[in-house]
Structure 1
Amino acid sequence: MQLRNRRFLLLGGTGGIGQSLLQALLAEGVVLLVASRQPESLQLPEGASGVKLDLAAEDLDQQLQAITDTWSDIYGVIHCAGQNQFAGLSRTPVSAIDGQLAVNLRSPMLVARHFAPRFAAAGEGALVFVGSTFGSIGFPGYTAYCATKFGLRGFTEALRRELADSSVQVVYVAPRATATAMNPQVVNQLNQALGNAVDSPEMVAQRIVKAMTRDQRRCFMGWPERLFVVINGVLPRLVDRALFKQLPVIRRFLESGVSQ
Structure 2
Amino acid sequence: MRLHDRVFLLLGGTGGIGKALVDPLVRAGARVIVASRQPDRLGHREGVSAVHLDLAAPDLDQQLERLSDAYPDIDGVIHCAGQNRFAGLGAMAVSELDVQLTVNLRSAMLVARHFAPRFEKGGYGALVFVGSTFGSIGFPGYTAYCASKFGLRGFTEALRRELADTPVQVVYVAPRATATAMNPEQVNELNRALGNTMDAPEAVAAEILKAMENDDRRRFLGWPEKLFVVINGILPRIVDKAMLKQLPVIRRFLNSGVLS
| TM exceeding 0.5 | yes
Matched to 2:220, the amino acid is: F
**Secondary structure at the residue paired with 1:77?**
strand
Which sections of structure 1, spanning at least 5 residues, go unmatched?
none
CA distances 1:99-156 after superposition (whole Å, capped 9, x unpaired): 0011000000000000000000011100000000000000000000000000000000
Distance 2:215 2:44 in 1: 28
1:37 Cα deviation (Å)?
1.6
1:24 Cα deviation (Å)?
1.5
CA distances 1:24-72 after superposition (whole Å, capped 9, x unpaired): 2112111010001232443142000011110000000000000111111
Corresponding residue number in structure 1 for 2:42: 42
Distance 2:16 2:254 in 1: 24
Distance 2:169 2:205 in 1: 19
Q: How does 1:137-152 map to 2 (within 5 A)?
A: 137-152=137-152
TM-score (norm 2): 0.98
Cα contact 1:11–1:34 (8 A) shared by 2: yes
RMSD across aligned positions (CA): 0.9
Change (3 A) 1:44 1:222: farther
Distance 2:86 2:16 in 1: 17
**Secondary structure at the residue paired with 2:153?**
helix
1:92 Cα deviation (Å)?
1.0
Distance 1:25 1:42 in 2: 15
Matched to 2:115, the amino acid is: F
Distance 1:70 1:83 in 2: 27
Corresponding residue number in structure 1 for 2:240: 240
Corresponding residue number in structure 2 for 1:79: 79
Corresponding residue number in structure 1 for 2:188: 188
Sequence identity percentage: 72
Cα contact 2:14–2:41 (8 A) shared by 1: no
Corresponding residue number in structure 2 for 1:250: 250
Q: Which moved more, 1:145-154 or 1:87-96?
A: 87-96
Corresponding residue number in structure 1 for 2:30: 30
Change (3 A) 1:7 1:183: same
1:83 Cα deviation (Å)?
0.2
1:2 is the counterpart of 2:23: no
**Secondary structure at the residue paired with 2:172?**
strand
**Where does structure 1 differ by over 2 angstroms across 4 or more consecutive aligned residues?**
38-42
Q: How many residues align?
A: 258
Cα contact 1:186–1:257 (8 A) shared by 2: no
1:257 Cα deviation (Å)?
5.1
CA distances 1:188-236 after superposition (whole Å, capped 9, x unpaired): 0000000001100000000000000000000000000000000000000
**Secondary structure at the residue paired with 1:219?**
strand
Q: Which moved more, 1:116-125 or 1:18-27?
A: 18-27
Change (3 A) 1:41 1:249: closer
Distance 1:29 1:95 in 2: 40
Distance 1:37 1:180 in 2: 18
Corresponding residue number in structure 2 for 1:62: 62
Cα contact 1:175–1:220 (8 A) shared by 2: yes
Matched to 1:85, the amino acid is: R
Distance 2:161 2:23 in 1: 31
**Secondary structure at the residue paired with 1:118?**
helix
Matched to 1:135, the amino acid is: G
Corresponding residue number in structure 1 for 2:105: 105
